[in-house]
């Protein structure tokens, strides 16, 4: 189902004073992940995200908030440097989250395309093997970006098992998704 053309999906760089907003969204993200990944809630009732404050200290880390029609709808945490090949120039989609009410309508694809437009170059999107629901989303988002079907490669690194999409996001991408 296409997202209505009148809906505005925007991605904005999160500022340090918005860290509590990201912390709250990360709790929802971790809750979703706990369905298929061994994440345990702490005694304080929170999952936590240990290294979030680094996103405003390290120039290779980039935090973004996603809004749909001006309403908070998710986030993207981007790292410079491949977790797979070690290439320091590759962008890595470290974390990406869209609130459930905005899923399956194109908001996530539009947001991913906006991130890739903002940060053109070589990219990797890693999808945990156990995150089966995310794999078709990323396959669609990357394929739509490139205008051709794209598959992932399976990578094992230590105990981590990922489906990895590796691609080049060109400069001058349109901000409108055709989904």
Please write the tens of the pLDDT for every residue from 121-143: 999 999 988 888 899 999 999 99
Question: How confident is the model at residue 122, as a pLDDT?
Answer: 96
Q: What pLDDT is stored for residue 41 in this prediction?
A: 66
Yes or no: say if 117 and 23 are a contact pair by the CB < 8 Å rule.
no
pLDDT of residue 3: 44
- Residue 158 has what pLDDT? 81
Output the 3-class SS for 109-125: HHHHHHHHHHCCEEEEE
Asked whether residue 4 is assigned to any structural domain, the reply reads: no
pTM reported for the whole predicted model: 0.86
133 domain residue, yes or no: yes
CA 103 to chain centre: 13
Is 175 a member of any domain?
A: no
Is the residue at 112 inside a domain? yes
Write down how long the chain is.
Answer: 179
Whichever domain contains 45, its CATH number is 3.40.630.30
Count of the separate structural domains present in the chain: 1
In 3D space, the residue among 149, 150, 137 whose CA is nearest the CA of residue 102 turns out to be 137
- Below-70 pLDDT ranges, the chain: 1-7, 33-38, 41-42, 45-47, 172-179
């Amino acid at each position: 189902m296409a997202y209505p053309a009148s809906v505005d999906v925007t991605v904005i760089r999160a500022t340090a004073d918005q860290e509590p907003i990201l912390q709250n969204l990360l709790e929802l993200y971790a809750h979703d992940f706990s369905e298929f990944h061994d994440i345990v809630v702490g005694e304080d009732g929170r999952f936590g995200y240990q290294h979030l404050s680094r996103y405003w200290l390290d120039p290779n880390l980039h935090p973004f908030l996603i809004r749909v029609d001006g309403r908070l709808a998710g986030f993207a945490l981007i790292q410079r440097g491949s977790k797979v090949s070690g290439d320091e120039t590759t962008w890595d989609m470290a974390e990406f989250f869209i609130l459930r009410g905005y899923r399956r309508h194109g908001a996530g694809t539009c947001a991913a395309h906006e991130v890739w437009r903002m940060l053109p170059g070589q990219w990797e999107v890693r999808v945990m093997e156990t995150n089966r629901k995310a794999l078709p989303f990323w396959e669609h988002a990357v394929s739509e970006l490139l205008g051709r079907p794209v598959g992932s490669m399976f990578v094992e690194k230590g105990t981590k098992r990922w489906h990895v999409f590796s691609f080049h996001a060109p400069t001058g991408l349109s901000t409108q998704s055709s989904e």
